[in-house]
Structure 1
Amino acid sequence: MTNISLDTAARITAAGIKAAAAIETPMNIAIVDAAGHLLHFARMQDALLGSIDLAQRKAKTSILFHMPSALLGTLSRPDGPIYGIELSNDGLVSFGGGLPIADAEGRVIGAVGVSGGTADQDVEVAQVCLTAL
Structure 2
Amino acid sequence: MSSTSITTIDDTTALIATQAAAEKARSLGLAMSIAVTDTAGHLKSFLRMDGASLISLQIAQDKAYTSSATGLPTHMWHEYIKEDAPLLHGIVHTPRFIVFGGGFPIKENGNVIGAIGLSGGHYSQDMECARAALAAISAEE
TM-score (norm 2): 0.88
Question: How far has the Cα of 1:91 moved from its partner?
Answer: 2.9
Shift of 1:119: 0.6
Aligned length: 130
The gaps in structure 2 that reach 5 residues or longer are: 1-5
Equivalent AA in structure 1 for residue 35 of structure 2: A
Give identity over the alignment, percent: 39
Q: Which residue identity does 2:66 align to in structure 1? A: T
**Separation in 2, partners of 1:33, 1:91:** 16
The amino acid of 2:57's aligned partner reads I
> In 1, are the aligned partners of 2:33 and 2:48 still within 8 Å (CA)?
yes
Q: How does 1:49-128 map to 2 (within 5 A)?
A: 49-77=54-82, 79-80=83-84, 82-83=87-88, 84-88=90-94, 90-103=95-108, 105-128=109-132
Cα displacement (A) at 1:72: 1.1
Cross-structure match for 2:3: none
Deviation at 1:76, TM superposition (A): 2.1
Counterpart CA distance in 2 for 1:49 and 1:127 is 23
* RMSD (Å), alpha carbons: 1.1
Measure how far apart 1:19 and its partner are: 0.2
Amino acid in the other structure paired with 2:79? T
Displacement after TM superposition at 1:49 (Å): 0.8
In structure 2, what is the Cα distance between the partners aligned to 1:24 and 1:31?
21
Residues 35, 117 of structure 2: 8 Å contact kept? yes
Q: What secondary structure does 1:94 align onto?
A: coil
Q: Does the 8 Å CA contact 1:2/1:109 hold for their aligned counterparts?
A: yes
- Which structure would you say has the larger Rg? 2
Residue 46 of structure 1 corresponds to: 51
- Tell me, yes or no, if the aligned pair for 2:31 and 2:49 is still in contact at 8 Å: yes
Note if contact 2:56-2:120 (Cα within 8 Å) is conserved in structure 1.
yes
Residue 80 (structure 1) shift = 2.7
* Aligned-partner SS, 1:40: strand
Q: Given residue 87 of structure 1, which amino acid in structure 2 is its aligned partner?
A: H
> Following TM superposition, where does structure 1 have runs of at least 4 consecutive aligned residues deviating by more than 6 angstroms?
none
CA contact (8 A) 1:76 1:86 kept: no
